[in-house]
Structure 1
Amino acid sequence: MVNRDRLINEFLQMVQIDSLSGRERQIADYLKDKLISLGLSVTEDAAGEKAGGNAGNIIAKIPANNSSAPVIMLCSHMDTVEPGIGVKPVIKDNFICSQSDTVLGSDDKAGIAAILEAIRQVKENDVPHGGIEVVFTIWEEGGLFGAKYLDYSLLEAKIGYVLDSDGTPGTIITRAPSQDKIYAEIHGRAAHAGINPEDGINAILVAANAIAGLNLGRIDEETTCNIGVICGGKATNIVPDLVKIEGETRSLDVSKRQAQNKVICRAIEQAAERFDTKADINVEPEYTSFNLSEDSLSVKIAIKAAQNLGLTPRLEKTGGGSDANVFNNMGIETANLGIGMRKVHTKEEYIAIEDLINNARYVVEIIKTAGELSL
């Protein structure tokens, strides 16, 4: 039986620990102490050094008490987005939100809280399992760096669950897109804006021409693209000689993502040609897609566990990436679970207490269901 008050209080405590991406040291130490006190073996890897942060991923293990069942991995990320310093949570009716000018941090501390409570339930009730590996990652937001730099030699699990999606408990993300980042530098020519502007080439104008011709946002039900950053220029009296653009493409279909890359690159190149200048463009892959079938072991376990609790299992696709993208690419069959977080990455973020409780119940039931298998 999930301890409601303990779970709520722990969640409230954790969201007040500052943990912006790359600065997870305080929450990492908190979680290491918690996991050690629960009797888990705990390791911190070197992902922080590789990513340029101040903490590594936390990997903790519970040895199997049923050696015929599969080892499962449970994961949530420790970092939060800005504004995320000085979070002050409040309970309003049956919801938890932030009272100050910050995000709440249920993305992804609601997932962490569920995993911690599930571990307690497993140990307090001697739930049979084939071994549990807990992974709390750094710097998921903006790069999935924790999962990318994770020391996979420390893991045995071949199936796993990331608790990091919207949707109420019972939501199972089985399909997620790949993503590329596009970086472009558009060159112009400097000149005095008041004396001899005709001698210059305005790089901002070139960039504007390129972007104005693009179809941004949702391209179709599987594909999106965006220009998210543009910067350049030095002063109003100087014709700008350089503009930098950052954008992205995502799609559940690899060929569609590649096609959008070509569209964006061509638009930038053609605009540069029209103004008799040049553009340097670089396309970098961020992460690969994944597509789990209903017959995948991780999905079948999640469906049965939801049904056991009276939850409605819903297999969904998403337009967002998560650590699950990286884990699947590394050979760990991983579904991403909905945990009820709402309006994430905004100051209006909130979570229902009922969802917070059901998250922990769901994780316990997944562990139980996996522990009943004989492989």
Structure 2
Amino acid sequence: MAKKNAVPSLQHEPDLKKAEQLILDLLPIPGKSGEEGKVVAFIKEQLLAAGAPAEAIITDNAHTKSILKGEVGNLIFKLPGTKKAPRRMLSAHMDTVPICVGCEPKRDGEFIRSANPATGLGGDDRAGAATILTAALEILRNKLPHPPLTFCWFTQEEIGLQGARNLQVPLLGKPAMAFNWDGGAANKLTVGATGGYRMDIKIAGQASHAGVAPERGISAIGIAALAIADLQRGGWHGLVEKGKSRGTSNVGFIHGGEATNVVTDAVTIKAEARSHDPKFRAKLIGEIEKAFKSAAKEIKNSEGKRGSVTIDGRLDYESFKLESDSPCVQLAEEAVRAVGREPLQAISNGGVDANWTNLHGIPTVTLGCGQMNVHMTSEMLDLKMYRDACRIALHLATA
């Protein structure tokens, strides 16, 4: 490892024209969460054409365990090292959000945008997928020396990190560290991220005629309204700050009712709670549960009956924080400096695949590829950042 104040240099330069063509080829391939089969086929085809042994390319069964299921699992490509060193993993996710299906990528100066005004670009995270594929192809085509390597393209990141969560870890070959590419600037190192918990809340009331006998009904909408108002008044909804503890919560989906002349007897709600502190996140979850159960007790009909609340929750991803002197952070900083940029450490309030790879025991830093305005029709990819991301990835795979 280079000295902290030394400026490392790149050992190998990737073919950046091929790297640019690769991202242009990947972007229009449809592949929203659970439908990544065509993306997997493209990446496999590229690896085999560059000389990868077919037996070194496998997919796991993560898609059979996810909440969505899906066409295919995570794509894994392993290479034995040409020099003795701990195994490293390079990763990115293949899926895009639905708004990116139908993307028509076009180059606009030093940016790539979608020529279809109704779609996003899908640089989140096809740029990451292309970045690590570029590194793999450069090594294969040029027979570059390298430590043992694992390349992993995750599925279903956009719906709660399902690919990384259900990853068949033994198939990776025991990497000592990992470098993950997702959104943001090429010099941004995400070394920590929050933990997230999602909740499905079902409220059962009692239907009645809203004009003739509303008093006989138990409004599930009324219960939901009381609970949400209680959370808002108590400072437990939105940005939540209690003393030194901090987190967020959100009721993001409500469905119920079919007509105004019927007291609604059923409401479905989806909510979430996030915090870097697992104990405070548990407190947040408890306050949400308490608010809905209390609201169900508060409302009763003329016959003295009350509604009920059923809550089904699950941990989406656990928080993590890497120390600045950990080997993967130091190596990532060196690689960023090698392309002439100054590394910037960041903590994310969203989830990344690294939440799960860290929990699986693989210290993982996440870097950016130049994606901008992700999940929007105005999304674009900064090609200068993307080119540097490809250079950083190859450096980390070979240095």
Match of 2:338 among 289, 300, 308: 308
Displacement over 4 Å in runs of 4+: none
Say if 2:384 is the partner of 1:359.
no
Matched to 1:62, the amino acid is L
Q: CA RMSD in A?
A: 1.6
Alignment: residue pair count? 367
Unaligned 5+ runs, structure 1 = 370-375
8 Å Cα contact 1:71-1:129 kept in structure 2: no
C-alpha distance in structure 1 between counterparts of 2:123 and 2:341, whole Å: 21
C-alpha distance in structure 1 between counterparts of 2:380 and 2:240, whole Å: 29
Shift of 1:53: 0.4
Alignment-derived partner of residue 225 in structure 2: 208
C-alpha distance in structure 2 between counterparts of 1:42 and 1:36, whole Å: 9
Matched to 2:363, the amino acid is E
C-alpha distance in structure 1 between counterparts of 2:383 and 2:29, whole Å: 20
Shift of 1:331: 0.7
Deviations 1:247-305 (A, max 9, x none): 11111111221111122111111211110332112322111111100111111110111
Say if 2:90 is the partner of 1:74.
yes
Matched to 1:38, the amino acid is A
Shift of 1:121: 2.9
8 Å Cα contact 2:50-2:141 kept in structure 1: no
Alignment-derived partner of residue 348 in structure 1: 378
Moved more, 44-53 or 76-85: 44-53
Match of 2:104 among 88, 101, 106: 88
C-alpha distance in structure 2 between counterparts of 1:228 and 1:158, whole Å: 38
C-alpha distance in structure 2 between counterparts of 1:236 and 1:89, whole Å: 46
Say if 2:269 is the partner of 1:245.
yes
Q: How does 1:135-174 map to 2 (within 5 A)?
A: 135-156=152-173, 157-166=175-184, 168-174=185-191
C-alpha distance in structure 2 between counterparts of 1:214 and 1:91, whole Å: 47
Alignment-derived partner of residue 3 in structure 2: none
C-alpha distance in structure 1 between counterparts of 2:261 and 2:212, whole Å: 9
C-alpha distance in structure 1 between counterparts of 2:339 and 2:182, whole Å: 20
Matched to 2:50, the amino acid is L
8 Å Cα contact 1:42-1:58 kept in structure 2: yes
Match of 1:18 among 10, 30, 35: 30
C-alpha distance in structure 1 between counterparts of 2:293 and 2:212, whole Å: 29
Shift of 1:4: 2.5
C-alpha distance in structure 2 between counterparts of 1:358 and 1:65, whole Å: 25
Match of 1:31 among 20, 43, 55: 43
TM-score (norm 1): 0.94
Residue aligned with 1:269, SS? helix
C-alpha distance in structure 2 between counterparts of 1:9 and 1:301, whole Å: 28
8 Å Cα contact 1:222-1:319 kept in structure 2: no
C-alpha distance in structure 1 between counterparts of 2:246 and 2:51, whole Å: 44
Residue aligned with 1:61, SS? strand
Percent identity, please: 34
Q: How does 1:264-275 map to 2 (within 5 A)?
A: 264-275=288-299
C-alpha distance in structure 1 between counterparts of 2:139 and 2:45, whole Å: 18
8 Å Cα contact 1:16-1:87 kept in structure 2: yes
Shift of 1:243: 0.7
C-alpha distance in structure 1 between counterparts of 2:240 and 2:111, whole Å: 35
Residue aligned with 1:347, SS? coil
C-alpha distance in structure 2 between counterparts of 1:86 and 1:218, whole Å: 35
Residue aligned with 1:321, SS? coil
C-alpha distance in structure 1 between counterparts of 2:283 and 2:106, whole Å: 46
Alignment-derived partner of residue 252 in structure 2: 228
Say if 2:324 is the partner of 1:294.
yes
Matched to 1:217, the amino acid is G
Alignment-derived partner of residue 127 in structure 1: 144
Shift of 1:222: 4.6
Unaligned 5+ runs, structure 2 = 1-12, 301-305
